[in-house]
Amino acid sequence: MKWCFVVLWVLVGFLTSNLNAQKKSKKNKVQSEMLLQEPAKPKLVEIKDSIKTETPTVEGAQIQFEKETHDFGKIIQGDIVRYQFKFKNTGNKDLIITDVKGSCGCTITQFPKHPIKPNQESTIDVSFNSSAKMGPQNKNLVVYTNAEPSLKVLYIKAEVVSPSTPTYLQPQKSN
């Protein structure tokens, strides 16, 4: 009786391993056939002439600045420095700037009072008066418009040095 169980056990093991080997062989054969087949050719899609190549404009007015921060670098106390923030209306409606307010009385701004047409460019002029200022200066300008979002913040920076600062630490004047 013991021998029957041993024989039966060996027979079941043999049949199981044989079935697993057949399954593995069949799987390898299918994978090999797949590798030998030619890859499917991509379908060509016809491109219509109606595709727009222009940059899409935003619905309504949109203000986009070339640069939102300007660093004047080192300036001598008492200097008045100027910069123009260039911008473009990238929307499809007229852009109206209603106001530009500086964070300090030391900044004076000029901005266009007329509507800026779509794709038209213009500037916001900023003057910074460094009188009574010393050391690092960080000022902001809030631009109020009819664009979405209606507020845009611009930044100016400078390091104000004393007129009595040694010349090698003062800003270099360009001719």
What does the pLDDT look like over 50-104, one tens digit per residue?
A: 444 445 466 899 999 999 999 999 999 999 999 999 999 999 999 999 999 999 9
Q: What's the rounded Cα separation, in Å, for the pair 64 and 90?
A: 7
User: Which of these, 56, 59, 85, lies nearest to 148 by C-alpha position?
Assistant: 59
CA angle, corner 128, sides to 123 and 129, nearest 5? 150
Indicate whether 150 pLDDT > 60.
Answer: yes
Q: Give the Cα separation of 160 and 171 in Å (integer).
A: 10
List Cβ neighbours of 34 (8 Å cut-off, separation of 6 or more). Answer: none
Q: What confidence score (pLDDT) does residue 59 get?
A: 87
CB of 58 closer than 8 Å to CB of 92? yes
Give the pLDDT score at 164.
86
pTM above 0.75, yes or no: no
The pLDDT of residue 54: 47
Beta bridge partners of 140: 155
Fold of 63-164: Immunoglobulin-like (2.60.40)
**In Å, how far are 46, 61, 106 from 141, measured between CA atoms?**
50, 20, 11
Q: Quick one: average pLDDT of 139-149? A: 96
Nearest to 118 by CA among 68, 170, 171, 64: 64
